[in-house]
Structure 1
Amino acid sequence: MLMQHAEPTAGGVSAAQSDVPTYAWVVFALTVGLLLSDYMSRQVLNAVFPLLKATWNLSDTQLGSLSSVVALMVGVLTFPLSVLADRWGRVKSIVLMAALWSLATLGCSLSSNYGEMLLARAFVGIGEAAYGSVGLALVLSIFPARLRSTLTGTFMAGGAFGSVTGMAVGGGVAAHLGWRPAFGAMAALGMILVIVYRIVVTEKRLAPLKSETVGAQATGFGVRMSFKTLMKGLFSTKSVVCAYVGSGIHLLVPAAVWAWMPSFLNRYYGMATGKAAMAAAAFVLVTGVGMVVCGNLADRLSKNSREKKWAAAIAYCVTCFTLLAIGFRLPAGTLQLVVIGAGMFFSAGASGPSGAMVANLTPPSIHASAFATLTLANNFLGLAPAAVLTGIVADRIGLLGALQLVPFAPLIAATAFFIGKRNYAVDLDRLNALREQAVR
């Protein structure tokens, strides 16, 4: 009979405990709420691409750069800012970051040319840089480890739902009032959420939700851990590196499709700006639902076999490739949109398993830094290059031709996940042994 080994628990709650305090869910809801604002501020741009193109006579490459500069700044700054947040305090860092991206979004509405808009978008990226990693680390620190894939998938799906809202609401506002009020509306919502979060969530109220051991470790590591030791903890195994790489590359698909779907519908289906934004939002919504469902399914499948998280990630990537490769080659019509929608359901499905695997393979005390590394990989390998590379290719062979190349990214991600799966059992056993030695 095969002996099953438990994955590590974290967050101060036993894996067997079934009750989660109500306040933990309140914190989760508010943290996801800010993530919605984050992506609303980021993705409202895509809804007004056609208007900006006409107003400033921009090329597809320039339009793509306005989207990609946000992910680029996130990729560059997520790690150092997340390390600082581990030391300075996650709650204070979250409030400061949300305030910055909201003000920068307001700056977008005041831009008078491409250069000013690019600068404002860069500051949106600076504000959002460490939010995903710090917010997720805070959430996982107050919930049982058995919920990691579900919570990670749901948290990251907040980005999809925020994108839906940003594109739909932004497109609607832009259609009636223009693109400047669309950015202004996103900024106003962000500032309201910042105020609510600052009042409701405090380190003092979070403390009882964390175990004394994890809290002590976080404090000690956050203050005294050397850079060399931190790097060793973040890149200690082949499987965690594969999780970083696979997660980043597989997100190239949703990033590219989210950015260009309004333009795709506008150019190839003749939809007006507002209608194209609303229709494109449906594809983003499907992606978000897929992230939640796929994350929960991965948790269920891995109850008795820890390697099944990896198998699920591989299956999601291969399914995404197959459906989108077919979808973007079908003639324009209902069938094409249905098949593309089915592919988008799985396009970010590996996000939950990837986050869970990173959490399992790194110490709780450096989870913010670990998720910063995951965020860095997500941005540099997928989110940052997706829109601008698609735009560059589109300027040469057309937008449809560029989108037909995008689905090949998940095949590369599936390869990374396959390598990680082969090393996961050995890596996890070794890490568990080291943790047991440290406790003794």
Structure 2
Amino acid sequence: MNRNRGYAWLVFALSFGLLLSDYMSRQVLNAVFPLLKAEWVLSDAQLGSLSGIVALMVGLLTFPLSLLADRWGRVRSLVLAAGVWSLATLGCAFAASYGQMFLGRFMVGVGEAAYGSVGIAVVLSVFPVGLRATLSGAFIAGGAFGSVLGVSIGGVVAQHLGWRWTFGVMGLFGLVLAAVYGVVVTERKLASAGVGPSTAPGARDPVRKLLPRLFSSVSVLCAYLGSGLQMFLAMALMAWMPSYLDRYYGLPPDKAGIAAGVFALITGIGMVGGGLVCDRLGRRNRHLKWTVAVFCSVGSLVLLTGGFQLPPGAAQLLLIGAGTLLSNATAGPAAAMVMSLTPAAVAATALATLTLANSLLGLAPGPAVTGMLADRMGLHAALQVIPLVSVVAGLAFALGRRHYDKGLVPITAEAVALRKTELQT
């Protein structure tokens, strides 16, 4: 038993390490924006597209690649995925033009597409059910921590060795971890330890049967929309804060990367904190989950709009930091809403749909649209405009709250019917 527990924690440690590599490879680009812009004479729209293409591929491929991993083998899929994103990141170090860098970032997105869903599935399969919430929370925090490391370490390496070495370091780190993971974690070792990945309920149901149940109420649509728009805001800030600090505070890439890493860490703290507050208040009144989301949307709008209206200085950074804390704190509440509005048999598919909405509405367009606006009006003015997406997000969460009870009725009825069937059999 102790041996199995030790092996389970080893699986967790290696999976968490790959998660760090995932986000470090994804976010390191933001730390070298100023250097790429100067060397290749790129527009802000082009810089934004290099960041947004990764999120776009993650959003488009998460669902199909997760299904493929369930059938082909999750461990094999993880090792292959880590190898792809690491080699692609290493390839970015040799890019000689915007087009070559775009291709490299495209492949980074392909490799990273299914890691979040498949990685957590492997981890949860080797631990008791009672630890699932803790482990899931650790993975959420790990994404933010990896972003901090990617931006911070990337800025320091770029300042002292050049931007090409930033991609080289991240790529080599991922390749080493992937090799170790492939040796230590295998389907056979998981089985011999008495644990192993299980197929999610409903995973093999026909797609035509699942799709209508993922969009069955006004409230669940509002949760997808609100979460995606708040993700737009959070990812735009994460992508452009290094450049903002470089241009308006005069910080060199290393210091700008470290400072921007702090803001990324604040975003992660907000994600975890939003979920904790949502769970605590939701025990008394289920509608308060929506209220938390509305508060975070409105709060981020007010704080960030006010912050970017101020001149550079301590007061501005304080308001921006507070707004950043709330910018993606809706992630936890949104996931809780989706879980309560969709049948348990398709819970994993519903969360994959939420991930798709976050990617297509937020992760992919956030950095790119901000870059296009910056080309037209300047980065400072663009960052004054983008918090307006929180107006629509807040309205979506408010509308979802209003129709929440109606959305729960068919789900509750289905749960009762399922329970009767189980008793009869």
Paired residues of 2:271 and 2:328 also in contact (CA < 8 A):
yes
With 290-299 and 27-36 compared, the bigger mean Cα shift is at 27-36
Query: Corresponding residue for 2:49?
Result: 65
Single out whichever of 64-73 and 420-429 deviates more from structure 2: 420-429
Aligned residues of 1:136 and 1:371 also touching (Cα < 8 A): no
Question: Equivalents in 2 of 1:300, 1:169: separation in Å?
Answer: 36
Q: Is the 8 A contact 1:171 1:273 kept in 2?
A: yes
Q: Which residue of 1 aligns with 2:117?
A: 133
3-state SS, counterpart of residue 216 of structure 2: coil
Distance 1:215 1:277, change over 3 A: closer
Per-residue displacement from partner, 1:371-429 (whole Å, max 9, x unpaired)? Answer: 32122111110110011111111111110110011112223222222233332543542
Q: How does 1:330-345 map to 2 (within 5 A)?
A: 330-345=310-325
In the other structure, the counterpart of 1:439 is: 422
**Secondary structure in structure 1 of the residue aligned to 2:319:** helix
Distance 2:153 2:136 in 1: 26
Counterpart residue type for residue 299 of structure 2: T
Alignment partners' CA distance in 2, 1:191 and 1:371: 29
Of 323, 334, 353, the match for 2:303: 323
Q: Which residue of 2 aligns with 1:12?
A: none
Partner of 2:361: 381
- Whole-Å separation in 1 of the counterparts to 2:281 and 2:6: 27
| Aligned AA (2:221) | V
- What is residue 216 of structure 2 aligned with on the other side? 236
1:417-432 matched pairs, under 5 angstroms: 417-421=397-401, 422-423=403-404, 424-432=407-415
- CA 1:161/1:216 → structure 2, altered by over 3 Å: closer, same or farther? closer
- Bigger mean CA offset, 365-374 vs 323-332: 365-374
- Asked if structure 2 preserves the Cα contact closer than 8 Å seen for 1:86 and 1:369, the reply is no
User: Is the counterpart of residue 257 in structure 1 residue 237 in structure 2?
Assistant: yes
1:38-73: per-residue Cα shift (whole Å, max 9, x none)?
A: 111011101001111111111111111111111111
Matched-pair contact (CA < 8 Å) for 2:294–2:398: yes
Pair 1:92–1:339, CA change in 2 (3 A): same
Shift of 1:143: 6.0
Instruction: Please report the TM-score for the alignment, with normalisation by the length of structure 2.
Output: 0.88
Which residue of 1 is the match for residue 272 of structure 2? 292
Counterpart residue type for residue 73 of structure 2: G
Residue of structure 2 aligned with 1:401, choices 358, 377, 381: 381
Matched, 1:278 2:258: yes
2:227 counterpart SS class: helix
Q: Structure 2, unaligned stretches of length 5 or more?
A: none
Q: In 2, Cα distance between the equivalents of 1:231 and 1:296?
A: 30
Paired residues of 1:137 and 1:368 also in contact (CA < 8 A): no
More off after superposition, 363-372 vs 281-290: 363-372
- Distance (Å, rounded) in 1 between the aligned partners of 2:162 and 2:218: 49
Instruction: Compute the RMSD of aligned alpha carbons.
Output: 2.7
Helix, strand or coil at the partner of 2:203: helix
- The one-letter amino acid paired with 1:436 is R
1:75 alignment partner, SS class? helix
- Answer whether contact 1:265 1:276 (CA < 8 A) is retained: yes
**Residues 200 and 348 in structure 2, CA contact (< 8 A), matched pair in contact too:** no
Deviations 1:308-355 (A, max 9, x none): 322222222222112111111111101101110111111111112222
Flag the 1:216–1:111 CA change in 2: closer, same or farther, 3 A. Answer: closer
8 Å CA contact retained: 1:291, 1:349:
yes
Aligned-residue offset at 1:271: 1.1
- 1:43 corresponds to which residue? 27
* Cα displacement string for residues 134-169 of structure 1 (whole angstroms, at most 9, x for unaligned residues): 334555665648965x65554333222111100100
SS in 1 for 2:391: helix
Mapping for residues 40-439 of structure 1, pairs under 5 Å? 40-138=24-122, 144=129, 148=133, 152=136, 154-203=138-187, 205=190, 215=198, 218=201, 221-223=202-204, 225-363=205-343, 366-421=346-401, 422-423=403-404, 424-439=407-422
CA drift of 1:215 comes to 4.7
> Distance in 1 between the 2:333 and 2:371 partners?
30
Which consecutive segments of 4 or more residues in structure 1 shift more than 6 A?
none
Distance across 2 between alignment mates of 1:408 and 1:157: 27
Q: Percent identity?
A: 53
Shift in alpha-carbon separation, 1:183–1:94, aligned structure 2, 3 A: same
The one-letter code sitting in structure 1 at the alignment partner of 2:119 is: G
Q: Could you tell which deviates more after superposition, 407-416 or 375-384?
A: 407-416
The amino acid across from 2:37 in the alignment is K
Does the 8 Å CA contact 1:321/1:411 hold for their aligned counterparts? yes
Task: State the match for 1:8 in structure 2.
Answer: none
Aligned partner of residue 251 in structure 1, secondary structure: helix
Distance 2:180 2:172 in 1: 13
**CA 1:360–1:325 in 2, change beyond 3 Å: closer, same or farther?**
same
CA distance in 1, matches of 2:414, 2:135: 23
Decide whether the 8 Å contact of 1:83 with 1:369 is kept in 2.
no
**2:16 maps to which residue?**
32
Shift of 1:173: 0.5
Q: Give 1:49's aligned amino acid.
A: F
Shift of 1:252: 0.8
TM-fit CA distance, 1:34:
2.1
Letter in 2 for 1:99: G
Deviation (angstroms), 1:28: 4.6
